[in-house]
């Protein structure tokens, strides 16, 4: 993992001190709320329906036990004993008092954490594959490049007042777990014919009001030129992106208005001017950052654990958790263990301070001190010895963290919605809770296979409904909460935007609707077909019919 040196530590400490000054000016009345707003928004502090909300960055989703313990401490001291993991691999606190926020940030700074650029029209926290450095299917660990992007983008003087927020995601696997095709910039590390690794650069994807799958503007960018190429893209966007209409200000609108070809031309032209101007890091610094991400001291182990095979025999519950929540690791004898933050009927992404500490202890003991946050609002222990999995599972189970539903129908992404968010049309969380309760049976869930439900409480699409196999969007119809269903979206390497199917449904009907869709899928599927596969094979109409047929 990356560790701060004196420079990084000074940056974060100075930022915390600066923000303390800004809060003091607000509290003394020197700044009005209106004047304070742009300042707090540069530092992840939102004013929500009932209180302030602070969003803390977890760069590319990687953090340590020590950091998790500090997050638990902050949840207890400054919140109501909870935190909430988001779709940006961040954590949010929903109830801090303004006067306490500077202390909270100081507490975080001590463990190399901050809220820098978790909001505002700047380059946001860079996200990545939650299995980075552990996945059997990756070309190389993408995180050194994420860290390089983090540093370059932090307080970038030219790009702190962009037309709109700007999100970059990086993957190094053909199985895209970072949703790179629906980001402002998506980067895919891959090998070219000559055996070198470089980036495919994808621009102009995004969700929100007008969803787009991004365009590849470069198939292969040599890695060492990453920063100058990003700077060229951002400069074109900063100068040319629309500023007259909030809803047309994201880079996706510019790319699609110009056309991907012309946009590529603008970027390449700018890049030609700056590629040798000293933006790109020298090899020594690239290597220095890579050294932080060297693989931990894995043991030489047999691929199969005899103990594990004995433990799973006769323990159906543990066996299911292994099947559903663990993933192949690149090192024999190890596994990647997912921790679901989606208990049946629970609030997606919520975690108590005690649960955070349980996860911290597990990471400490069994996963080389590493934890990952996922964009699907779950956690990961990336490097667990197979023979330790049973111990890990028992602790998780005791902590209420062993729900075996990763990737299944109750592993729902939901935005905060009307329970917290000032922009919401509808609630999201209770819909997620009711769907999960309705389809609670884990045997049934497992037999349904991969099925991604994503719920947003308004068109801003924080719950990624456009890329849900089943998406649910809250709309306001004459003051009443309605839900629009979309089908066939995907955030993966086969990215697609879901299609709206028919009229909105009341909150009472939407859970029934999901159940009907699921039943219909079951009746239509061939062996091995996921929900998404069936939808792509037979199209929207039969699903619509099933959904709206008179009961």
List interacting residues with ligand SF4 (CB under 6 A). Answer: 415-417, 421, 423-424, 428, 456-458, 460-463
Are the C-beta atoms of 372 and 359 separated by less than 8 Å?
no
Both structure tokens of 488: 């066939």
Residue 422, CA distances (Å) to 46, 50, 51, 433, 507 in order: 10, 9, 11, 21, 19
Residue 3, CA distances (Å) to 8, 39, 168, 357 in order: 9, 27, 22, 21
14 binds, among other proteins, ligand SF4, none (CB under 5 to 8 A by kind): other proteins
Give the span between the Cα atoms of 351 and 373, in whole angstroms: 12
Give the span between the Cα atoms of 243 and 223, in whole angstroms: 32
Nearer to ligand SF4, 386 or 427 (CB): 427
Give the span between the Cα atoms of 164 and 253, in whole angstroms: 11
CB of 15 to other proteins, least distance (A): 8
Q: Which residues of 358-375 are buried (b: 16+ CB within 10 A; e: fewer)?
A: bbbebbbbbbbbbbbbbb
Q: Does residue number 281 form part of the binding site for other proteins (CB under 8 A)?
A: yes
CB of 342 to other proteins, least distance (A): 36
Give the span between the Cα atoms of 262 and 276, in whole angstroms: 23
CB of 236 to other proteins, least distance (A): 9
Q: Count CB atoms within 10 A of the CB of residue 258.
A: 16
Residues 34-63 that bind other proteins (CB under 8 A): 38-39, 42
CA dihedral 63→66→67→68, nearest 10 degrees, is 90
CB of 243 to other proteins, least distance (A): 6
CB of 398 to other proteins, least distance (A): 43
Please pick, from the candidates 154, 484, 486, 490, the single residue that binds other proteins as defined by CB under 8 A.
154
Give the span between the Cα atoms of 497 and 211, in whole angstroms: 7
Nearer to other proteins, 210 or 238 (CB): 238
Give the span between the Cα atoms of 106 and 23, in whole angstroms: 13
CA quadruple 114, 118, 119, 125: dihedral positive or negative?
Answer: positive
Nearest to 502 by CA among 480, 517, 516, 486: 486
494 binds, among other proteins, ligand SF4, none (CB under 5 to 8 A by kind): none
| Pattern 109-148, other proteins, x by CB under 8 A | ------------x---------------------------
Q: Does residue number 222 form part of the binding site for other proteins (CB under 8 A)?
A: no
Nearer to other proteins, 175 or 273 (CB): 273
Are the C-beta atoms of 527 and 497 separated by less than 8 Å?
no
CB of 425 to ligand SF4, least distance (A): 7
Q: Does residue number 257 form part of the binding site for other proteins (CB under 8 A)?
A: no
Size of the site for other proteins (CB under 8 A): 39
Q: Which stretch binds other proteins (CB under 8 A): 154-162, 193-201, 477-485, 490-498?
A: 154-162
Torsions phi, psi for 194 (to 5 deg): -80, 0
CB of 422 to ligand SF4, least distance (A): 7
Give the span between the Cα atoms of 318 and 386, in whole angstroms: 13
Nearer to ligand SF4, 410 or 456 (CB): 456
**Half-sphere CA count of 418, side-chain side, radius 13 A:** 16
Q: Does residue number 519 form part of the binding site for other proteins (CB under 8 A)?
A: no
Nearer to other proteins, 152 or 420 (CB): 152
3-state secondary structure of 378: coil
174 binds, among other proteins, ligand SF4, none (CB under 5 to 8 A by kind): none
CB of 417 to ligand SF4, least distance (A): 5
Are the C-beta atoms of 216 and 138 separated by less than 8 Å?
no
Partner residues linked to 406 by β-bridges = none
CB of 426 to ligand SF4, least distance (A): 8
| Pattern 17-36, other proteins, x by CB under 8 A | xx---x--------------
Nearest to 233 by CA among 176, 175, 152, 290: 152
521 binds, among ligand SF4, other proteins, none (CB under 5 to 8 A by kind): none
Nearer to other proteins, 16 or 415 (CB): 16
158 binds, among ligand SF4, other proteins, none (CB under 5 to 8 A by kind): other proteins
Q: Which stretch binds other proteins (CB under 8 A): 48-56, 279-287, 357-365, 532-540?
A: 279-287
Nearest to 384 by CA among 404, 402, 369, 400: 369
Nearest to 93 by CA among 50, 63, 61: 50
Interacting residues toward other proteins by CB under 8 A: 5, 7-8, 10-11, 14-15, 17-18, 22, 38-39, 42, 121, 151-152, 154-162, 227, 235, 238-239, 243, 273, 277-279, 281-282, 284-285, 288
């Amino acid at each position: 993992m990356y560790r701060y040196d004196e420079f990084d530590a000074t940056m974060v400490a100075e930022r915390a001190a600066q923000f303390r000054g800004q809060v003091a000016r607000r509290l003394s009345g020197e700044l009005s709320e209106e004047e304070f707003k742009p300042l707090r928004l540069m530092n992840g502090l939102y004013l929500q329906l009932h209180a302030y909300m602070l969003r803390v960055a977890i760069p590319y989703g990687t953090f340590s036990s020590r950091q998790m313990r500090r997050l638990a401490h902050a949840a207890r001291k400054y919140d109501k004993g909870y935190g909430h993991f988001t779709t940006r691999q961040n954590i949010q606190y929903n109830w801090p008092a303004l006067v306490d926020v500077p202390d909270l940030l100081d507490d975080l700074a001590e463990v190399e954490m901050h809220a820098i650029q978790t909001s505002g029209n700047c380059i946001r926290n860079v996200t990545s594959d939650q299995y980075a450095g552990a996945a059997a299917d990756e070309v190389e660990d993408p995180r050194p490049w994420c860290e390089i992007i983090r540093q370059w983008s932090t307080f970038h003087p030219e790009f702190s007042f962009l037309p709109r927020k700007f999100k970059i995601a990086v993957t190094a696997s053909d199985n895209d777990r970072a949703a790179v095709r629906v980001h402002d910039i998506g980067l895919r590390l891959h090998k070219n014919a000559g055996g070198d690794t470089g980036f495919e650069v994808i621009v102009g994807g995004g969700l929100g009001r007008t969803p787009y799958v991004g365009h590849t503007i470069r198939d292969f960018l040599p890695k060492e030129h990453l920063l100058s190429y990003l700077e060229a893209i951002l400069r074109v966007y900063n100068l040319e992106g629309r500023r007259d209409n909030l809803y047309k200000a994201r880079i996706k609108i510019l790319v699609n208005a110009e056309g991907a070809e012309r946009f590529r031309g603008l970027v390449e032209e700018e890049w030609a001017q700056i590629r040798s101007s000293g933006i790109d890091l020298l090899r020594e610094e690239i290597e220095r950052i890579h050294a932080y991400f060297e693989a931990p001291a894995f043991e030489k182990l047999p691929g199969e654990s005899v103990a594990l095979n004995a433990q799973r025999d006769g323990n159906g519950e543990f066996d299911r958790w292994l099947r559903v929540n663990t993933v192949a690791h690149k090192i024999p004898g190890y596994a990647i263990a997912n921790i679901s933050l989606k208990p049946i009927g629970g609030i997606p992404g919520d975690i108590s301070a005690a649960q955070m500490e349980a996860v911290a202890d597990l990471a400490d003991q069994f996963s080389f001190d590493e934890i990952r946050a996922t964009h699907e609002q779950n956690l990961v222990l990336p490097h667990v010895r197979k023979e330790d999995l049973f111990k890990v599972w028992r602790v998780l189970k005791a902590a209420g963290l062993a729900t075996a539903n990763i990737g299944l129908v109750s592993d729902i992404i939901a935005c905060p919605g009307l329970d917290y968010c000032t922009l919401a049309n509808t609630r999201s969380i209770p819909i997620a809770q009711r769907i999960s309760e309705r389809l609670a049976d884990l045997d049934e869930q497992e037999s349904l296979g991969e099925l991604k439900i994503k719920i947003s409480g308004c068109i801003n699409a924080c719950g990624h409904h456009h890329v849900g196999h089943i998406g649910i969007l809250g709309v306001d119809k004459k003051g009443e909460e309605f839900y629009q269903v979309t089908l066939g979206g995907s955030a993966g390497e086969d990215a697609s935007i879901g299609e709206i199917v028919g009229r909105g449904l009341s909150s009472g009907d939407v859970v029934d609707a999901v159940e009907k869709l699921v039943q219909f899928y079951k009746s239509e599927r061939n062996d091995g077909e996921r929900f998404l596969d069936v939808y792509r094979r037979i199209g929207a109409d039969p699903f619509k019919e099933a959904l709206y047929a008179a009961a």
